[in-house]
Structure 1
C-alpha cells in the first residue's frame, strides 16, 4: 500500500503537471478576467486588435529565437539584428533613394550575413551559443550605431553635410506596419514555422539535434548544416521584425530592436510549457507573446508606471523557467 507521503508527492506532481501543461493558458484567462473587470475597455474589440498589433514584432523576432533554440542554440543577437535591419531599410529610402524592393532586400541580405557569421563562429570554435551570440550582439549593436552615427534616420533629416535628406519612404511600405497586415505577417510566420518544425523531416531533425547532437550526428544528420540553417532563419525573422518595426514607426531609432530581446526570450521560454510541449515551438512562443502582451496592455490601462513593467515580465519568465526545469528534472 502507498504511504501518505507517497500520496502527497503524487498529488503535488499532478499539480505541477497540470500547471506545466495548462498554466500559461490558465494565466491568460485569469489576467483577462482581472483586467476585464478592473480596466474599462480592456475587452473591447479595438483593444484586442491593439494587443495583437503590439505583440506582432516581438512574436516575429521570438519565432527566430525559437528556431535557434530548437537546435540547442540560443541567439541573443536577434534584437541587435532587428535594430540594424530597421536602420538599413529606412536609410535605403531616405539616404539613397532606393525603391521598396531594394530597401527590403538589402536589409534581409545583411541579416542573413549576420546569421552566417553566428553559425560560423558557433560551429567552428565550439563556443557556447549564448556566449558567442552575446559577443556578436554587441558587435552588431555597435555596427548599427556606427552606421547611423547615433542619430535617428527620418525623412527630411539633416545630413552631416548640412543638407536635408531628399529620399522618401514609399507609401506602400507603411502598410506593412499597420492593421491588418502586421497581424497577418505575424500569423503567417507563426504558422509557417509551426508546420516546418512539426510536420517536416527538417524540423524533426532540428529537434533531434537540440535533444542530442551527438546521437543526431551518428544517425547521419548533417548537424552543422542544420545549425547553420537555424541561425539563418533566426536572423531572417529578426530582420523581418526590424523591417516591420521600421514600417510601423517610419523612422530608425537608436537601438530600436534592443527592447524586444527580453520579451522575445520570455515568449520563447514560456512557450516550452504550453500544452506540455517541453521544447521550443512556434505556437507556444505565440501564446507566450500573447501573455506578455496582455500583461503589458493591462498594466498600462491600470496606470502602472512603465519602469515597473520589467519587474512583472522578469517574474513571469522566472516562473516559466522554474516550472519548465522542474518538470525536466522530474520527468
Structure 2
C-alpha cells in the first residue's frame, strides 16, 4: 500500500511541478525589449535610413541627457523616494555653468565645479526637509522644483545666457565658452559619458553594500533601521546623488547647445520619469536599476526618432509616447501588486 502510494506520488509530481506558460510574466520581463525590436523593424521598413549608423548615433546622443538625469531619479527611487526637482536642478546647473564662462570668464574646471556645488546644496536641502522635517518626498520636491526654477529665472534675469550677450549696463559680455567644454556635448564624448555613468551606477547599486542597503531601505525602511542600517544617511546620499546627476545632465546640455536657455531642464523631467519607471520591469528586475533605466531611455529615444522620420506631427508625439508609457506601467504594476 505504501509502495504503490509512493509510486503514485512520484509519477504525479512532474505534472504538479510543471509550470504553465505565464504570458504576463513573459511580457513583464521582456515586453520592453520586444517593443524596442518591433519599433526598430517598423521604423526600418518605413524608412531604411533609420538603421544607418549616423541615425543610431543621433538616437544615442539624443537620449544621453535624459538617461543621465533619469539615472539620478533611479537612485532616489531605490530608497523609495521620488525627486521631482531634477528638471529644475538641471536648469539651474545649465544656467550656472554657462554664466561662469560668459559673465565671469572662469575656467572649465571652475565653471563645472560651481554648478555641481549648487546642485549638491539643493540635494542637501531636499534631504534635510525630507529626513528631518518628515515632509513627503513627492510634495517636498514638487515645492522645491518651483523654488529652484524661480531661483534659476532670477539668476538669469529670465534671459538666455550666451556669448556676446547684452549685459544690464548695455555692454556686451566678454567671456567665452572654452573649446574643451564644448566637447562634452558632442559625439562620441556625450555617449561615452552616458555609458560610463550607467555602468558606474549599475555597479554601485548592484554590487556594493551601499547599493544593497539602499534597496533594503526602499523595500522596508523600518526593517532596515532595525537591522542597523543608517537609513537617514543613505536617504541623504540618494537625494544628493540625484541632484548631482541632474546637474551633470544640465551641464552636458549646456555644452551641447552652447548657451543657457530658460528652464532648459524642464523638458527632460517627464522623459526621465518615464525611462526610470519603464526600467522597473526590464528583464523582470522589479526594482529601480540603472540598466533598466537606460533601456527605458532607449525605447523613448527610438520612438521619438522614428516618429520624426515618419513625419508624425509634433503635437501627436506626446499621445504615442504617453500611450507607450501607460502600457509599460500597466504591465509593471500588474506584476508588482
| Shorter-chain TM band | over 0.9
Q: Of residues 90, 96, 102 in structure 2, which corresponds to 1:82?
A: 90
Aligned residue runs from structure 1 range 99-248, under 5 A: 99-248=107-256
Q: Of residues 327, 330, 334 in structure 2, which corresponds to 1:319?
A: 327
Q: Of residues 25, 29, 32 in structure 2, which corresponds to 1:17?
A: 25
Matched, 1:52 2:60: yes
Residue in structure 2 matched with residue 307 of structure 1 by the alignment? 315
Q: Of residues 302, 305, 309 in structure 2, which corresponds to 1:297?
A: 305
Matched, 1:266 2:274: yes
Alpha-carbon deviation of 1:325? 1.2
CA distance in 1, matches of 2:122, 2:19: 48
CA distance in 1, matches of 2:20, 2:318: 30
Aligned structure 1 segments of 4 or more residues deviating by more than 4 angstroms:
10-13
Q: Of residues 38, 42, 47 in structure 1, which corresponds to 2:50?
A: 42
Alpha-carbon deviation of 1:324? 1.3
CA distance in 2, matches of 1:194, 1:43: 28
Residue in structure 2 matched with residue 6 of structure 1 by the alignment? none
Aligned CA RMSD, in angstroms, stands at: 1.3
CA distance in 1, matches of 2:132, 2:316: 41
Alpha-carbon deviation of 1:128? 1.6
CA distance in 2, matches of 1:103, 1:142: 21
CA distance in 1, matches of 2:126, 2:152: 17
CA distance in 1, matches of 2:86, 2:293: 15
Alpha-carbon deviation of 1:108? 0.2
TM-score norm. by structure 2 comes to 0.93
- CA distance change for structure 1 residues 13 and 125 in 2, over 3 Å: closer, same or farther? farther
Alpha-carbon deviation of 1:102? 0.5
Alpha-carbon deviation of 1:13? 7.9
Show structure 1 runs of 5+ residues with no match. 1-9
3-state DSSP class of the match of 1:198?
A: helix
CA distance in 2, matches of 1:317, 1:12: 29
Matched, 1:64 2:72: yes
CA distance in 1, matches of 2:121, 2:315: 35
Q: Which has the larger radius of gyration?
A: 2
CA distance in 2, matches of 1:239, 1:202: 22
Alpha-carbon deviation of 1:320? 1.6
